[in-house]
Amino acid sequence: MSLEWMAWTWPTAVFFTGIALMLLAMTGLELVWPTVERRGFLPIRTTRGDRLFVGLLGSAYIHLGWLAVVDAPLWGASIVALLWMAVVLRWG
Amino acid sequence: MDKTENNRAWLLVIPVLLVVAFSAIIPLMTVVNFSVQDIFGPGERVWVGTEWFEEVLADTRLHDALWRQFLFSGLVLLIEIPLGVMIALAMPREGWSVSLVLVVLALPLLIPWNVIGTIWIIFTRPDIGLMGNTINRLGLGFDHTASPLDAWVTLMLMEVWHWTPLVALLAYAGLKAIPDAYFQAAQIDGASRWAVFRYIQLPKMRGVLTIAILLRFMDSFLIYAEPFVLTGGGPGNATTFLSIYLVKIAVGQFDLGPAAAFSIIYFLIVLLFSWIFYQVLQNVGRGRA
């Protein structure tokens, strides 16, 4: 089956593989170490999956905000997004 | 008692996963792929990185369409949710009139969306339309094809007429599910009509109102067919909402790359607001928000 119609590129393939691996890792973690709802700095009680979702959504907005406002290479946004993900997953 | 775990139940989820993959995930992946390339035709494409995103984010016409969209969705929620709840509260609880009211309320929901636009074009025409002609005879000068305010008034009326019944039906289902014991207890305590609504009916409707608000926000934020038929985005750009502008770029100009970047930003906005609404509505009334 040709996937040419999907117009794949290497960077987007790596991006989606990363997301898929993240979801697989979360499933594995859940089986070994079930999540417990807790309250961190976010104003709601969250599970591990909730925090991953907030982290990913926030990362998307950080990249968009960077493109809209900052006149610098995009990897700067990626560093900020990684920090945001780490903070949300640990203390969110 | 120990719960029996049967992981074979996961197999039953596979058909849903397949349907979602083909209807949502694969198209979304394709849009992401398109958003970083300049597409000339099948097999002819060039990597452009984030160029389309930068172009779209700096597009003032998109900013205008976005604010218009927020205003439209905000008005829709502000009008339709309270109005729907009020209609549900006024609806009969028993007797032959229940079926009649339900059928009458459901009628606008059964009409195809493009037909709704056509109905309202005719209804509001200044020369032959019942509403347009009547208002003009009153000397108020109404023409939704020329005046942006008239176009917005017509659109809002059409939207409220079309979708408030959905909110009313959902709220009515929520009200019907409240056991009589609550109302009897309130009557014994001498609760006022307002207190019954505030402390019994409204909290018990939280679930259905969550669904109503989410559905109405997402639907109104993605609205296309009705305004496209009624005003075509005009007069000028007065009713050019995000989806109408997106279709102009994707189909009118065949700029697939910018349209894909636009679609991803659009998707992220809907995702963020739906999630916020969901969280707020789930936590309100439980002492969590």
Calpha distance B109→B107 (Å, rounded): 5
Residue A64: its chain B contacts at CB < 8 A? 53, 57, 265, 268
CB A71 within 8 A of CB A19: no
Give the ipTM: 0.91
Distances (CA, A) of B80 to A58, B88, B115, B127, B228: 31, 12, 21, 30, 21
Contact B42 A74 (CB under 8 A): no
Calpha distance B159→B154 (Å, rounded): 9
Residue B81, chain A, CB below 8 Å: the answer is no
Residue A43: its chain B contacts at CB < 8 A? 289
How many Å separate Cα B2 from the centre of its chain? Answer: 44
Q: Is residue B74 part of a domain?
A: yes
Return the SS3 of A43: coil
Q: How far is B196 from chain A (nearest CA, A)?
A: 29
CATH number at B200 reads 1.10.3720.10
Q: Is residue B79 part of a domain?
A: yes
Q: What is the pLDDT of residue B78?
A: 96
Return the SS3 of B47: strand
Return the SS3 of B1: coil
Q: Is residue B87 part of a domain?
A: yes
Q: Which residues of chain B have pLDDT under 70?
A: 1-5, 284-289
Calpha distance B11→B25 (Å, rounded): 19
Calpha distance B51→B200 (Å, rounded): 54
In which domain, by residue range, is B228 found? 59-254
HSE of B257, CA atoms in CB hemisphere, 13 A: 18
Residue B33: its chain A contacts at CB < 8 A? 6-9, 12
Q: Hey, of A27, A39, A44, A71, which one would you mutate to test binding to chain B, going by the most B CBs within 10 A of its CB?
A: A44
3-state secondary structure B138-163: CCCCCCCCCCHHHHHHHHHHHHHHHH
Taking one residue from A and the other from B, the number of pairs with CB-CB distance under 8 angstroms is 53
List beta partners, residue B41: B44
Distances (CA, A) of A38 to A32, A53, A87, B31: 18, 15, 15, 35
Instruction: Provide, rounded to the nearest whole percent, the portion of chain B with pLDDT above 90.
Output: 60
Q: What is the pLDDT of residue B48?
A: 92
Q: What is the pLDDT of residue A44?
A: 87
Residue A67, chain B, CB below 8 Å: the answer is yes
Calpha distance A42→A50 (Å, rounded): 11
Q: Is residue B130 part of a domain?
A: yes
> What is the reported pTM?
0.83
Q: Is residue B32 part of a domain?
A: no
The span from the first CA to the last CA of chain A, in angstroms, equals: 43
Would you state the structure tokens that stand for residue B246, as one six-digit string?
């997106």
Residue B272, chain A, CB below 8 Å: the answer is yes
Q: Is residue B178 part of a domain?
A: yes
Calpha distance A35→B67 (Å, rounded): 39
Q: Is residue B181 part of a domain?
A: yes
List beta partners, residue B172: none
Q: What is the pLDDT of residue B284?
A: 65
A42-75 tens-digit pLDDT? 888 899 999 999 999 999 999 999 999 998 889 9
B46: alpha, beta or left, given left = phi > 0 and alpha = psi -120 to 50? beta
Q: What is the pLDDT of residue B285?
A: 54
Name the band, by pLDDT with cuts 50, 70 and 90, for residue A1: low
B61-75 tens-digit pLDDT? 989 999 999 999 999
Calpha distance A35→A46 (Å, rounded): 9
Q: How many domains does chain B have?
A: 1
List beta partners, residue B39: B45
The span from the first CA to the last CA of chain B, in angstroms, equals: 35
Type of residue at B47: W
Calpha distance B168→B214 (Å, rounded): 14
Q: Name which residue leads in pLDDT, A16 or B234.
A: A16
Q: What is the pLDDT of residue B144?
A: 85
Would you state the structure tokens that stand for residue B159, as one six-digit string?
């939207």
- What is the pLDDT of chain A when averaged over all its residues? 91
Can you list the pairs that B25-33 forms with residues at least 24 positions away whose Cβ atoms lie under 8 Å? B26/A6, B28/B267, B29/A6, B29/A12, B29/A16, B30/A5, B30/A6, B30/A7, B31/B260, B31/B263, B31/B264, B32/A12, B32/A15, B32/A16, B32/B260, B32/B264, B33/A6, B33/A7, B33/A8, B33/A9, B33/A12, B33/B260
Q: Is residue B192 part of a domain?
A: yes
